[in-house]
C-alpha cells in the first residue's frame, strides 16, 4: 500500500493503539505518529515521531510535506468532562485542529481525512434508545457542541470542495494500554484497574446510568474499515453512528464479579452525571452496518475477560 499516514494526537488513548495497528498494516515508516507531547519509547522506536500542535496549520503542512503524507487521522481533542472545565480552550482545540486539516485537504496537500465524532453530539432532546442516525441533535456540553459543529464542517468540505473526510460517532472506548483522560465514560476503564488493585471502586455515575460503549479492538477495526471502504459506500459525510454494547455501572460491576467475586462497587455521582444523562443510552448503527459492513466482536463479558487478563 502506498499511503503515508499522519496521526495527530498519537499519544492519546485511541491514538496509541491506532498507531500500532496502522504500522502493522501499512509498515512502520509509512505511519508518522505526532503529538504535542513526547511519544513513549515504543512509539518512537517503531517509526517516525514528530512533536506537533494540532491547531498549528503551518506545522502540520510542514510535517505533511516532509513525509509526503497522503492521509491524516486527527485524534487530538479535549473530551467532555475536561471541556466543561475549559470551554474556550476545548472549542479552540477541537475546532481549529479540524479546520486546519480540512483546509489542507481542500488545498490538495492530503487526500483523505479521518476525524472522530462522539455520542456527545446528541443531547437531552435526542431519543435515548435506538438513537437514529438522523434525529434531533441539541448537545448541552461544549464537547458535544464542538462535535456536532465538526460533523457539519466535514460534510460542508465534502460537499463544497470534494474533501474525502470520514467520521464515526464513538461511544465510550474501553482499553488497557493507555488510559483515557477527561471523559465521562472513563469510569468504565478505571473500574478494571481498581478491580485488580483494590477489589473495590467508587463510581462517579449512578448505578443505572446506561451508556453506549465499545472495546478498543472494535473501535480501531471500525476506524480502519471506514477509511479503507470504497468512497461510494460512504453515504454519510457528517459522521456514522457506531455501536457495540450498552451497559450501566451496575452491569459492568456484575460482569467483573463473575471474574473477581470479592469486587464491590459504590456510587458517588459528581458533575459528570449531568453530562451522562444528556447522552443516548443505546445507539442505532444500522447505517454503518448496511453501508460499509460494520460488525463488532466484543460484548461486555468478552471484553471483561480480555481486560482483566491483559491488566493482571
Ligand atoms: C467522553 O466521555 O467524553 C468520550 C466520548 C463519549 O466521546 N469518551
pLDDT 10s digits, 103-119: 999 999 999 999 999 99
CB of 175 sitting under 6 A from ligand 1: no
pLDDT 10s digits, 216-226: 999 999 999 99
Annotated catalytic residues are 143
> For residue 75, how far is its CA from the centre of ligand 1 (angstroms)?
13
Instruction: Please identify, by atom number, the ligand 1 atom nearest to the C-alpha of residue 184.
Output: 2
Q: Whose CA is nearest to atom 7 of ligand 1?
A: 118
ipTM: 0.98
- pLDDT-derived band at 2, boundaries 50, 70, 90: confident
Q: Which of 184, 186, 187 has the most ligand 1 atoms within 8 A of CB, as the residue to mutate?
A: 184
CB of 307 sitting under 6 A from ligand 1: no
pLDDT over threshold 90, residue 1: no
Query: What is the pLDDT, as a whole number, of residue 231?
Result: 97
> For residue 290, how far is its CA from the centre of ligand 1 (angstroms)?
25
Instruction: Please identify, by atom number, the ligand 1 atom nearest to the C-alpha of residue 170.
Output: 7
Domains (ranges, CATH) in the chain?
5-172+214-241 (3.40.50.720), 174-213+245-278+298-311 (3.90.25)
* Grid cell locating 213: 460503549
pLDDT 10s digits, 213-262: 999 999 999 999 999 999 999 999 999 999 999 999 999 999 999 999 99
Query: What is the pLDDT, as a whole number, of residue 212?
Result: 98
- pLDDT-derived band at 39, boundaries 50, 70, 90: confident
CB of 26 sitting under 6 A from ligand 1: no
**Average pLDDT, integer, range 154-175:** 98
Query: What is the pLDDT, as a whole number, of residue 177?
Result: 95
Query: What is the pLDDT, as a whole number, of residue 197?
Result: 97
> For residue 183, how far is its CA from the centre of ligand 1 (angstroms)?
5
Percent of the chain with pLDDT over 90: 97
Query: What is the pLDDT, as a whole number, of residue 302?
Result: 98
pLDDT 10s digits, 279-301: 999 999 999 999 999 999 999 99
**Average pLDDT, integer, range 113-141:** 98
Query: What is the pLDDT, as a whole number, of residue 139?
Result: 98
Task: Kindly report the average pLDDT of the chain as a whole number.
Answer: 97
| Alpha carbon distance 119, 169 (integer Å) | 6
pLDDT 10s digits, 186-199: 999 999 999 999 99
Percent of the chain with pLDDT over 70: 100
pLDDT over threshold 60, residue 309: yes
Amino acid at each position: 500500500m502506498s499511503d503515508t499516514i499522519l496521526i495527530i494526537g498519537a499519544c492519546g488513548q485511541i491514538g496509541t493503539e491506532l498507531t500500532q495497528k496502522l504500522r502493522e498494516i501499512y509498515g512502520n515508516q509509512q505511519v508518522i505518529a505526532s503529538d504535542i507531547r513526547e511519544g513513549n519509547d515504543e512509539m518512537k522506536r517503531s517509526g517516525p515521531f514528530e512533536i506537533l500542535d494540532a491547531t498549528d496549520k503551518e506545522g502540520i503542512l510542514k510535517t505533511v510535506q516532509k513525509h509526503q503524507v497522503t492521509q491524516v487521522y486527527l485524534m487530538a481533542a479535549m473530551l467532555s468532562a475536561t471541556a466543561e472545565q475549559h470551554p474556550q480552550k476545548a472549542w479552540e482545540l477541537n475546532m481549529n485542529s479540524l479546520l486546519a486539516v480540512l483546509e489542507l485537504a481542500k488545498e490538495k496537500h492530503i487526500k483523505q481525512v479521518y476525524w472522530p465524532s462522539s455520542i456527545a453530539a446528541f443531547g437531552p432532546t435526542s431519543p435515548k434508545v435506538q438513537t437514529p442516525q438522523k434525529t434531533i441533535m441539541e448537545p448541552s456540553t461544549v464537547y458535544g457542541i464542538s462535535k456536532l459543529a465538526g460533523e457539519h464542517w466535514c460534510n460542508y468540505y465534502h460537499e463544497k470542495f470534494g474533501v474525502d473526510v470520514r467520521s464515526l460517532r464513538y461511544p465510550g472506548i474501553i482499553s488497557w494500554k493507555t488510559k483515557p483522560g477527561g471523559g465521562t465514560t472513563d469510569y468504565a476503564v478505571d473500574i478494571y484497574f481498581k478491580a485488580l488493585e483494590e477489589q473495590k471502586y467508587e463510581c462517579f455515575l449512578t448505578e443505572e446510568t446506561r451508556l453506549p460503549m465499545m472495546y478498543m479492538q472494535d473501535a480501531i477495526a471500525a476506524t480502519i474499515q471506514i477509511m479503507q471502504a470504497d468512497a461510494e459506500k460512504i453515504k454519510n459525510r457528517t459522521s456514522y453512528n457506531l455501536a457495540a454494547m450498552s451497559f450501566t455501572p451496575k452491569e459492568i460491576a456484575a460482569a467483573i464479579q463473575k471474574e473477581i467475586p470479592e469486587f464491590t462497587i459504590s456510587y458517588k455521582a459528581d458533575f459528570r452525571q449531568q453530562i451522562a444523562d444528556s447522552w443516548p443510552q443505546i445507539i442505532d448503527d444500522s447505517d454503518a452496518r448496511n453501508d460499509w459492513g460494520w460488525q463488532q466482536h466484543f460484548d461486555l463479558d468478552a471484553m471483561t475477560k480480555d481486560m482483566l487478563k491483559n491488566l493482571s
